[in-house]
Chains A and B, each alone.
Chain A
Amino acid sequence: MSKQLREIHGRLGDEAQKLTESKTLEGARPWREWVELLDPLHAMDQETDRVRSRATTQMITAGILAFLLFIATIFALVASPIAGAICVVILLGLIAWFFAAMRTRGYTKRIDLERAPLDFVLPLLPILGEDAERGAPVSLRVDLREPTRPDNRGQSSQPYAKGRYHKIVDTWYTHPWCAGGVRFVDRAVVQWQIVDYIKVAKKTKRNPRGKIKTKTKSKKRSQLEVAVTFPAKMYEATDQARWDRQVKEKVKPAESKTAIRVRRTVKSTDVASPPDVRHLLDLLASAYERVEPTRGKKLAG
């Protein structure tokens, strides 16, 4: 394990260290506390990725060198016992290096977190904190596990052919990775949920030389949904939205509150990246554009 990774891991609090094992977090706390908890995890995950990549390179290097040296050792042992013994010692060193790199790689893989949820949530928290009451809790449920893990797996298609590919199998995954809620100073209650629908297509073709080649392509649809409940003492629904923000909306005006539910789907071919935070802000903005204040007093806090 690298010195830096050891240091970063050591600096993590008990809770953060547990999160690297459970990889799911759920709770309610002020946004600053969330940042204090999640930001070191984010830094550690970045370092983990760097260490894993280095360990993989080391494994490959050690493996190739060990293989070449093994062949050289055979010849060396025949030619000169001393040269052979030296080769054996170096070979043992390379094998030890290979296993050390493999151990590091295994460890970093075990504590690896899905970074997209952290990339999304960390910048979002200070923005939500602007509208939340000071010290008000933000509830969060974040899944930092791999999106295409078996328990997210849905149905698979029957193999079919298309173009040059004689066999394509599509598998769908449903990954609800982020949900949360917060109460704003204007007493609006905000809740959101983001679900990724991932299609993994495994395509097989035969190349001109007759070799079978398989590649995997993924597509993702992120569905962002926001529900805002505006108390009637503060806001009432307007007849129409101020701007067309390309969202699907449901507005339910009632005597005591107006409930607005807005939704947007964002398509991407990059499964590892989160949607832009702006999409969630846009949904919230569109909810605020469907109401107008019913009172004219200032807000404070």
Chain B
Amino acid sequence: MTTVDPCACKRGFFTLRDCGNAATTSCEMCSRRVCSEHLAPRVQARVCVECAARQEEGELPKGSPVVPPTKRSAAELEDATVPHRARRRYYDDWSYSPWWWASSDAYYASSGYHTRSFDDDDDDDGGFGDS
């Protein structure tokens, strides 16, 4: 089943795949449509977890721990930004390229993610293709 207005965020750490949820709003930074699960907890703005992670990563020095050891409150762990931030930092610092199992997305190509993929059998605007 295909969602008419799908969330543009990708799930996964070692492989990336489409979120699968229906989008409910738009990110004010990247203008992509995202679901409520992938909205970062911001008070004044609607920002997707991937833009939030990108923004927060810019503030952290290279080589910082993938998961900050002191931040472990339940709210922090429930915060969907955490795995996205960890993923971004791990990819950047440890040169990991996840397998891409999702629809193609220009956001990822421009955000510096290096993914491993090959052309989709289905030819339905995604799947595998080198990035």
Contacts and interface: CB of A to CB of B under 8 A. Distances in A.
Interface of A: 32, 35-36, 39-40, 42-43, 119, 122-131, 184-186, 242-243, 245, 276-278, 281-282, 284-285, 288-289, 292-293, 295-301
A295 B17 contact: no
Interface string B74-115: 100110001100110010001111110111000000000000
A279 to B, nearest CB: 10
Contacts of B77: 35, 39, 122-123, 125-126
A243 B17 contact: no
Interface stretch (B24-32, B39-47, B52-60, B65-73): B65-73
B5 interface: no
Nearest to A43: B73
Contact of A285 (B69, B96, B101): B96
Contact of A296 (B90, B96, B119): B119
A186 B120 contact: no
Interface of B: 11-15, 17-18, 20, 65-67, 69, 72-74, 77-78, 82-83, 86-87, 90, 94-99, 101-103, 116, 118-122, 124, 126-128
B45 to A, nearest CB: 23
B83 A129 contact: yes
A278 B120 CA distance: 31
B128 A278 contact: no
Given A281-B66, A296-B127, A298-B127, A243 B99 contact: no
Nearest to A123: B67
B90 A281 contact: yes
Contacts of A284: 14
